[in-house]
């Protein structure tokens, strides 16, 4: 698809991602895909009954799109899974770290099964460092409280996803590990300086960027020392100045869609 041949409305649509209701191609999806030319449809558990159903749904989505779609889901493993049965089970990050299993291989197999279901974007792996025991939402979704270990293991996960031709979305930039608020329910506020972030939260993201990761998700968190007005998901200072300019990231950037949806009482 030649981007220069797209209309302005089509270009805008390609920058947007939407959740939806239902388990089959319906009027809501028709409007989003055929009229608004949305670029990314994200599935939640409510949209998935079983492998055969979601495979047909994703095929119908692509068949009705004039521009090939990103079809995404959050499937980190462990407690955060969307396709529950008939695919390779992917343990959570902390479990994989503890058992020292072949993370690249098991991530490859699980994402290959997702690819066969018609998904091409997985909002994973989690690059957050589990450095706050009061964190209500990350905890075992993180590989470790050591940024060096997290950096090493997310690279293994990304290699597995790349082998399955699944676009990874590393999350949650610039780090969701040191929060004590669930950002699905409220806006976490972090007072860390850039010096503190560089030695902890940002270290795994730097490792992944150096390794060529293709997708990064930005967290819905207010980092007051970087931007005292806008949360990171809406912040020029964090997305453009820090992630793109200072860290040199050139891949796809998405916001933490589920958190913004919930905070605005949308799509629930």
Q: What class does CATH assign to 88-263?
A: alpha beta
Does residue 260 carry a pLDDT above 60? no
Question: What Cα–Cα distance (Å) separates residue 30 from each residue in 1, 26, 48, 130?
Answer: 21, 6, 18, 41
**Contact assessment for residue 110 and residue 77, using Cβ atoms and an 8 Å cutoff:** yes
Task: Say which of 113, 128, 227, 256 is annotated catalytic.
Answer: 256
C-alpha span between 243 and 213 (Å, rounded): 13
* Rounded CA separation 249/215 (Å): 9
- Is 184 a catalytic site residue? yes
Task: Provide the pLDDT for residue 258.
Answer: 55
262 in catalytic set = no
Q: Is the peptide bond before 31 cis (omega within 30 degrees of 0)?
A: no
Task: Round to whole Å and give the CA distance between 5 and 237.
Answer: 31
For residue 15, give the nearest of 220, 174, 252 by alpha carbon: 252
Q: Express each pLDDT in 67-117 by its tens digit.
A: 999 999 999 999 999 999 999 999 999 999 998 779 999 999 999 999 999
Q: Are 129 and 142 in contact (CB under 8 A)?
A: yes
8 A C-beta contact, residue 97 and residue 153: yes
Among candidate residues 145, 184, 214, 262, the one labeled active-site is 184
State the SS3 of 142-204: CCCCCHHHHHHHHHHHHHHHHHCCCEECEEEECCCCCCCCCCCCCCCEECCCHHHHHHCCHHH
Residue 262 pLDDT exceeds 80: no
Q: Where are the domains of the chain?
A: 1-73, 88-263
- Of the candidates 89, 107, 82, 83, the one whose C-alpha atom is nearest the C-alpha of residue 168 is 107
Please, which pLDDT band fits residue 182 given cuts at 50, 70 and 90?
Answer: confident
Residue 215 has pLDDT above 80, yes or no: yes
Quick: pLDDT tens for 10-27. 999 999 999 999 999 999
CA atoms of 120 and 111, how far apart (whole Å): 9
E strands present in 57-165: 70-73, 121-122
Phi, psi of 25 (to 5 degrees): -65, 125
Is residue 259 scored above 80 in pLDDT? no
- pLDDT tier, 257 (very low <50, low <70, confident <90, very high otherwise): low
Hey, how many other C-beta atoms are within 10 angstroms of the C-beta on 184? 16
Residue 124 makes CB contacts below 8 A (sequence gap 6+) with 74, 75, 76, 77, 80, 157, 161, 168, 169, 171
Tell me the pLDDT tens digit for each residue of 132-145: 988 888 989 999 99
């Amino acid at each position: 698809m030649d981007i220069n041949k797209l209309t302005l409305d089509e270009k805008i649509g390609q920058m947007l991602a939407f959740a939806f209701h239902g388990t089959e191609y319906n009027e809501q999806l028709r409007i989003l895909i055929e009229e608004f030319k949305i670029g990314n449809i994200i599935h939640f558990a409510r949209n998935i009954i079983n492998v055969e159903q979601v495979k047909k749904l994703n095929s119908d989505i692509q068949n009705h799109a004039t521009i090939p779609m990103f079809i995404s889901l959050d499937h980190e493993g462990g407690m955060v899974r969307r396709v529950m049965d008939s695919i390779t089970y992917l343990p959570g990050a902390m479990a994989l770290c503890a058992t020292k299993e072949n993370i690249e291989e098991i991530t490859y197999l699980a994402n290959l099964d997702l690819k066969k279901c018609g998904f091409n974007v997985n909002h994973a792996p989690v690059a957050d460092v589990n450095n706050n025991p009061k964190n209500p939402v990350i905890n075992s979704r993180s590989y470790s409280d050591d940024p060096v270990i997290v950096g090493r293991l997310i690279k293994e996960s990304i290699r597995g996803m790349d082998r399955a031709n699944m676009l990874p979305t590393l999350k949650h930039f610039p780090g969701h590990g040191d929060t004590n608020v669930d950002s699905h329910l409220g806006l976490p506020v972090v007072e860390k300086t850039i010096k503190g972030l560089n030695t902890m939260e940002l270290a795994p993201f730097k490792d992944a960027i150096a390794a060529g990761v293709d997708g990064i998700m930005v967290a819905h968190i207010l980092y007051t020392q970087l931007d005292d007005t806008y949360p990171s998901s809406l912040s020029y200072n964090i997305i453009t100045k820090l992630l793109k300019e200072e860290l040199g990231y050139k891949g796809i950037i998405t916001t933490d869609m589920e958190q913004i949806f919930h905070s605005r009482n949308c799509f629930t």
